[in-house]
Amino acid sequence: MADYVLHMERKNADILIAGGGVAGLVAAAAFGTAGFSVVIVDPAPPVTNAHSDGADLRTTAFLQPAQAFLETAGVWPHLADHATPLQIMRIVDAAADPHVVRDFDARDISDQPFGWNLPNWLLRREIVARLHELPNVDFRPGTGFTGMVPRLNAALVNLTDGTQVAAKLVIAADGRNSAVRRALGISTTTTRYGQKAVTFAVTHDAPHDNVSTEIHRAGGPFTLVPLPDHDGKPCSAVVWMDHGAECLRRAALDTEVFEAEANDRSALHYGPLKLASKRMVWPIISQVADQITGPRTALVAEAAHVMPPIGAQGLNMSLRDLACLLDLTTADPANLGSPAMLDSYARQRHPDIKLRVAGIDALNKASMLGNSVAQDLRARGIAALYGITPVRRTLMQLGLGAR
């Protein structure tokens, strides 16, 4: 084994990124734009066409701070023309009688929308296009992480293509089952809800008017997020959370039966919904890594935290991880990957991660409640929070990532 390691082809880089999902690709663009030499690997090439097998048909809403970070990474010019603005966040409690409807309007706190929505497959396509513009970024799709040996001045990272990268900093962006995290022996604290989410796109008669609508009833929220028109009709992406068995049952229904159930669950808020994509099912959990750093290594995105898709917090939190790391590395590039830098990253991010995951966990558990007393309390809580203007504005600022 020693002879094999000695004869490996070795490349030196400032940063090795494990994981070629949206967070990993954005990380490569951000650190590459900042002038660092970057190697990014993922065992699966990114699927960049909506009609290809394995395409991720979910969407991501980038809130204002995330959009600013994408500008810094040189990615936003690739995305702006494809993005649908989210001007209003609407919460509907459909279990209440009458329904409680409250609109949180970005105009109350900003002259910009809350955020912008984009399909995940398109994100991958456009971020990869940005990476091709950066000569200091070595993108290796189809190559995976097999292990690493941290040293005093670098981590020696072994890859499935038989090469080795000596990197001053390793960024683990390789998902909730992170191989890098496992290699470091870092455990996680996980909450399972017995929930899944069915994701799909729909057309509808009523225009969405750039409103993201979260409809609550027992089992979990039914969220419609604006998309560009499809075949000349208003279109929205849907995330429908419910008990796992129900989601699996619905995903297998004939189209007409599924549409009937979706229309009932949406309370016909936008009129009749017509399926405009295939359906996909995703597990819902909360998970926080017990540590978010190791020798020469920082955990980001789902390697560090996973949460239910409520309030558009997931990937936006991931970009906060990256923004924090980028600030630390550009402020002191000579100490890239040092214990002091990683300690600072952990101090700044880990408490915020735990707090926000706990908040989303509480919101999700409240949305699952099915008894009438709990539903009444939820409706009263939504109305009360909305009715106090300073509280409403503070909640919106917190939703955008303010501390």
Q: What's the CA gap between 218 and 371, in Å, rounded?
A: 8
| Residue 402 predicted with pLDDT over 80 | no
**Residue 353, pLDDT score:** 94
What does pLDDT average to over the chain? 87
**Residue 5, pLDDT score:** 46
| Residue 15 predicted with pLDDT over 70 | yes
Least confident piece of the model among 52-61, 194-203, 385-394 = 385-394
| Residue 385 predicted with pLDDT over 60 | no
Average pLDDT over residues 71-96: 89
pLDDT in tens, 25-61: 999 999 999 999 999 999 998 888 888 888 787 888 8
Least confident piece of the model among 219-223, 322-326, 343-347, 368-372 = 368-372
> b or e along 20-57 (b: 16 or more beta carbons within 10 Å of the residue's beta carbon)?
bbbbbbbbbbbbbbbebbbbbbbbeebbbebeeeebbb
Q: Record the tokens describing residue 156, joined without a space.
A: 């020696």
Nearest C-alpha neighbor of 109 from the set 319, 398, 403: 398
| Residue 373 predicted with pLDDT over 90 | no
Q: Which residue has the higher pLDDT, 63 or 389?
A: 63
CB distance 63 to 401 below 8 Å: yes
At residue 98 the predicted structure's pLDDT band, cuts being 50, 70 and 90, is low
| Residue 392 predicted with pLDDT over 70 | no
At residue 207 the predicted structure's pLDDT band, cuts being 50, 70 and 90, is very high
Q: What's the CA gap between 149 and 156, in Å, rounded?
A: 5
CB distance 50 to 58 below 8 Å: no
